[in-house]
Amino acid sequence: MNEHAPPADAATLVEARGLSRIFRVPVHGEGTGAALRHFLARRYKDVVAVDDVTFSIRRGERIGFLGANGAGKTTTLKMLSGLLLPTKGSVRIGGVDPFPKAPAFLRRIALVMGNKQQLLWDLPAKETFRLNAAIYGIDDATYARRVDELATMLDVARLLDQPVRKLSLGERMKCELLASLIHGPDVLFLDEPTLGLDVNAQVAVREFLRRYNETTGATILLTSHYMADITALCDRVLVIHEGRLIFDGDLRALARRFAPRKELRLELPAAVTAADVAHVAGDGVAGDGVAHVATDGRVVRFAVDPAQLSATLVRALTTLNPVDVTVTEPPIEDSIARILRGDTGGTTPTTTATHSAPATTATTEPRA
Amino acid sequence: MRIARILSLFWRTSWAAEAEYRGNFVFAALASAGNLCASACSLWLFYQGGGGFPGWTFDESLVVLGLFSLYTGVVGSVLAPNLGRIVQHVEQGTLEFVLLKPLDSQLQVSLRVLSPWGLADVGWGVVLLVAGLARSGHAQPSLLWAIVPLSSGVVLLYALWFLVATTAVWFTKIYNATEVLRGLLDAGRFPMAAYPAAYRFVFIFIVPVAFLTTVPGEALLGRASSSMLAASPFVAAVAFVAARAFWGRAMRRYTGASG
Amino acid sequence: MSALQPTSVGDRIRAGWRIARGLFRAGYAYMTEYRAELILWALANSLPFILMGAWTQASTRGHFALSPLDLVRYFLAVFVVRQLTVVWVLWEVEQQVQGGKLAPQLLQPVDPAWRHLMNHVAERVARLPFAASLVVLFFALYPAAFFVPSAMTLALFLVLVAAAFLLRFLVQYTLAMLCFWTERASSIEQLNFVLYMFLGGAIAPLDFFPPAVRAVADWTPFPSMMWLPCRVLLGGVPTAEVARAVAVLVGWCVVFFVASRLLWRAGLRRFSAMGA
């Protein structure tokens, strides 16, 4: 199909090496004088959106790009799909450089953007499908079969003859997916595909993507800032923070990496004193391994490095006579939420659980 | 063949999409007729008091006015509805969909929509053209001679509009740059002989309006100068190549392939 | 006025002034954000200059009521008047009625018409420096056309331009009220615009019209929206003719003011009946 050397590993689909993207942004000043100066001699500053990102993806993987707004997820996705030229570094999709957008390459990929639509607003969704089929050169029989299959999988068969403007947001996104998949792509780029959808529609889109991946073996790369999308769908997560790839691995590894400490919660018979805290913390013996998190009346909580856990427990049990002891691993959602807030430096576990999903593992009974 | 099939689908869907607003068409036709009437009347006013355009009878000038209306129709049906969307594409980021389709992106943004709005102008334009030709004794116009300057005129019109509309990629906030061009092209409603020398210079060399209506008009009347006849496809080709190159440049900028 | 409420009229005027000033400020801030568009809109109005060329060229050959220099000044005045009387209220109303943005406006204690009017006034002020510099540029390129009208003429011109703007605004606002009933109000305005350009004298000074056409045109609202101020600026129009034109202008202002108010009320009834 192409003259590029095949990738080292035949199963490798995406190769990104040292991918960087710098945007030049004009600097504006305030006021008319500044506006005039800006007009005459523009000043620019360089904004590094993606900085030296390297990874490879195997055929059939479901990859989630995770990061705060403006972290560089969408820029990365655009470079992978050939929409943006990397400032530095290279991308190969199936051994092909995506940027020239060769027709053979474009026929293999699909891009779905949650906040943008390609469906013709005033017409039934079917019209868009037919148009795309013509553009991609799909014959009538294949077209009919694909629409049939996809419409069944997405449960939208009854919606295809209604004008798009009459559909709900969720129904519209399902039709967007159908329109994007009519040519049977084997690489899917999805940028925030569940943006703004209600919970049911989010689940439906996720389930569809999983089934599409399982039945066709297509590779799925998606960005999202709904953690549920990532945890429910992706077997591998790439975390991008301030343009850099700071994590590449599966969900469990992500939890270990960003929430390596367990939470130790002690309920004491009397109000907690500073001396109690200092004692459990090991009076400096344990170094940074134990950190005091919060005190609330008779309850005190610590973040404990797993290596220090037994020693700390012994200290607490022997001297403080706690009424109740709990050791938990903070839920992965919390650690992800921290990443999305742009807070990756600290290792202190989040103390407020804002998500209903249960913790992935718990060494003892979770807190009541 | 594939392109023809896609274009027919493009246009069918755009007609279907406008079907709900079809009632507007009656008013558009009326407004277009009124507009043309006013233009014809103002042309007639020029010929009062012994005035008029040197070398052009009133009926011959009607031919130019008819061509102008024809081009106005092309603008209303093809250029304005399609190229006006480039700004939207850039602003809303839907240009991504266009770029990732295995079909030339300039073709997609230029011919996606065929709107019925300009058809009335085309219709009235043809009526005026035929009437002007018949009344000025050119019942059998030199169609063969005119085909080259006429199609060059259409290509030139497209290229000029496309060049201006594509600036949207740089200045997203400015959506009405094409209005300035539309205003300048208004000069095409009269033959070039109507204007002082300085104007003619501008309309031949800077905003080549002369090649849109006057040169094809002269060709239809069988009296175009050979130099203008030869120049018109050349001017159109240069403008088209420039438009094509400018689009390439705009897309390189959009995708970050150029500074 | 009455002894019981000696300050009520003054208070109302002051309150009205405060509202107008507030609306103007908001409108002006908005318009300056779109300066680049304003400049392009101003440049897009090149038709008067095109016709200026064609008419001065024609007048060197035939016999017309105005001299070539008068024609240059006339079309320059047309350009200025067009800059100062541009109206787009129909599209604003269309957007509000069909885009569902009217309801929140109705809850405010100011009639939306004032907001539209002040938007237009603010746009005018924002556009003024640019339009003025175009006129200066024109005189620099063509100094022979330069002239200084008398203070009296200039004052009359400005008053007439303001009145012309008001009438154009009222006519279009009246047509805009049709948005409550039809989605094609803008097509009707297109037709209105053609009449305005032709009978208003933007294509050719009314002086060139055949007497029969002229006699009819004089009684329509259009000549007073463009031809009247432009022609007054050039001078040489008999006072009786100006007076009659002003009377027609005032008459049409009253007619369209009443019509627009009646249609507004009927439109609102329909709007609320539709449950919008």
Interval A312-342: pLDDT, tens = 888 888 878 888 888 887 666 666 666 666 5
Task: Quickly count: other Cβ atoms within 10 Å of residue B104's Cβ.
Answer: 13
Q: Which residues of A touch B18 (CB under 8 A)?
A: 122
Give B124 to chain A, closest Cα distance, Å.
30
* pLDDT at position A318: 82
- HSE at residue B5, side-chain half, CA atoms within 13 A, is 13
A223, A254, A285 — which closes off a domain? A254
- Helices C35-44 and B177-185 pack at an angle, to 10 degrees, of 10
Chain B contact set for C56 (CB, 8 A): 196
Collapse the DSSP code of B9 into the 3-class scheme (helix H, G, I; strand E, B; otherwise coil) and give the result: helix
Q: Mean of the per-residue pLDDT values for chain C?
A: 89
User: How far B24 CA sits from the closest chain A CA (Å)?
Assistant: 16
pLDDT of residue C235: 85
Left (φ > 0), alpha (ψ -120 to 50) or beta: where does A248 sit? beta
- Asked if A134 lies within 8 A of B93 by C-beta distance, the reply is no
Contact B13 A120 (CB under 8 A): yes
**Residue whose entry in the numeric block shows the structure tokens 């209506």:** B213
Using CB atoms within 10 Å of the CB of residue A355, give its burial: 0 to 12 exposed, 13 to 18 middle, 19+ buried. middle
Q: Which of A114-123, A351-360, B116-125, C201-210 has the lowest mean pLDDT?
A: A351-360
pLDDT higher than threshold 80 for residue B43: yes
A292 and A195 within one domain: no
pLDDT of amino acid A349: 35
Pick from B21, B35, B187: CB nearest C194: B35
8 Å CB contact between A81 and A16: no
Residue C203 touches partner B, C-beta closer than 8 Å: yes
Q: How many domains does chain A have?
A: 2
For chains B and C, what is the number of CB pairs under 8 angstroms? 110
Contacts of B171 in chain C (CB under 8 A): 36
* A132 and A215 belong to one structural domain: yes
For residues B53-65, average pLDDT: 94
**A84, A111, A131: residue with CB nearest B9:** A131
What type of residue sits at position B136? S
A52 contacts A20 by C-beta, under 8 angstroms? yes
The two three-digit tokens of residue A73, written as one number: 């997820």
Report the C-alpha gap between B38 and C51 in whole angstroms: 14
Answer yes or no: do A103 and B102 touch at CB < 8 A.
yes
Residue of chain B whose Cα is closest to the Cα of C204 = B42
| Same-domain pairing of A72 and A207 | yes
What is the extent of the structural domain holding A250? 59-89+97-254
Instruction: Show which subunits contact A, needing at least 3 CB pairs below 8 angstroms.
Output: B
C69–B contact, CB cutoff 8 A: no
Task: Give residue B101's pLDDT band: very low, low, confident or very high (50, 70, 90).
Answer: very high
Measure the CA–CA gap between A222 and A219, rounded to whole angstroms.
10
Query: Which residues, at least 6 apart from A156, have a Cβ–Cβ distance to it below 8 Å?
Result: A125, A171, A174, A175, A178
Q: Are residues A265 and A249 in the same domain?
A: no
Nearest CA in chain B to A134: B6
Residue A91 has a CB neighbour count (10 Å cut-off) of 21
Kindly state whether residue A47 falls inside one of the protein's structural domains.
Answer: no
Q: How far is C55 from chain B (nearest CA, A)?
A: 8
Task: State the smallest CA–CA distance between residue B89 and chain A in angstroms.
Answer: 10
Check whether A33 has a pLDDT greater than 90.
no
Which residue of C37, C54, C188 is in closest CB contact with B195?
C54
Average of per-residue pLDDT values in chain B: 89
Closest-approach residue (CA) in chain B for A180: B97
B6 touches chain A (CB under 8 A): yes
Asked whether residue A140 falls in the same domain as residue A277, the answer is no
The whole-angstrom distance between C4's CA and the closest CA on chain B is 56
Interval B211-251: pLDDT, tens: 999 999 999 998 888 899 999 999 999 999 999 999 999 99
Min Cα distance C144 → chain B (Å) is 16
The confidence score (pLDDT) of residue A39 equals 57
Same domain? A244 vs A269 = no
Q: A259-312: per-residue pLDDT in tens?
A: 667 888 888 888 888 887 888 877 656 566 787 878 888 888 888 887 788 888
Q: What is the mean pLDDT of chain A?
A: 81
Shared domain for A166 and A265, answered yes or no, is: no
Q: Which residues of C touch B187 (CB under 8 A)?
A: 50
Interface mutation vs chain B, best among A76, A97, A120, A122, most B CBs within 10 Å? A122
- Give the minimum alpha-carbon distance from C39 to chain B in angstroms, rounded to a whole number: 10
Query: Measured between CB atoms, does C58 come within 8 Å of chain B?
Result: yes
Q: Which of C30, C35, C40 has the highest number of chain B CBs within 10 A, making it the mutation to test binding with B? A: C40
Residues of B in Cβ contact (< 8 Å) with C191? 27, 30-31, 34
Structure-token match 């590779």, residue found: A219
Q: Return the pLDDT at A348.
A: 37
Q: How do residues A208-239 score in pLDDT, each as one tens digit?
A: 999 999 999 999 999 987 778 888 899 899 98
Q: How far is CA C248 from CA A337, B26, C244, in A?
A: 71, 32, 6
Residue B31: predicted pLDDT: 83
Residue B82 has pLDDT above 60, yes or no: yes
The pLDDT tens digits for C55-84 are: 999 888 877 888 899 999 999 999 999 999
Residue A310 lies in a domain: yes
Q: Is A250 found in the same domain as A273?
A: no
Nearest CA in chain C to B22: C184
Nearest to A106 among B6, B102, B256 (CB): B102
Q: Which strands, in side-by-side order, build the sheet including A262-267?
A: A290-296, A299-304, A262-267, A324-328
Beta carbons within 8 Å of A266's beta carbon, 6+ residues apart: A280, A299, A300, A301, A302, A316, A320, A322, A324, A325
- Under the banding of pLDDT at 50, 70 and 90, the label for residue B210 is very high
Parallel, antiparallel or unpaired: strands A219-223 and A62-66: parallel
Residue A2 has pLDDT above 70, yes or no: no
CA-closest candidate to residue C208, choices A249, B139, B48, A188:
B48
- Pair A295, A193 in one domain: no
- How far CA A87 is from CA of A15, A234, A290, B39, in Å, comes to 16, 28, 44, 54
Closest chain C residue to B28 measured between Cα atoms? C187
Grade residue A196 by pLDDT with cuts at 50, 70 and 90.
confident
Question: What CATH number is associated with residue A334?
Answer: 3.30.70
Q: How many CA atoms lie within 13 A of B2 on its CB side?
A: 12
Q: What is the mean pLDDT of residues B177-201?
A: 93
Work out the average pLDDT over C228-241. Answer: 90
**Distance of alpha carbon B78 from its chain centroid, rounded?**
9
Q: CA-CA distance, A203 to A201, in Å (whole number)?
A: 5
- Rg, Å, chain A Cα set: 26
| Strand locations in B75-137 (E) | none
Task: Report the percentage of chain A scoring pLDDT > 90.
Answer: 43
Q: Which of C46, C58, C194 is closest, CB to CB, to B38?
A: C194
ipTM of the complex: 0.89
The domain ranges of chain B are 2-16+23-254
Cα C87–B171–C137 angle (5° rounding)?
60
pLDDT exceeds 50 at position A367 = no
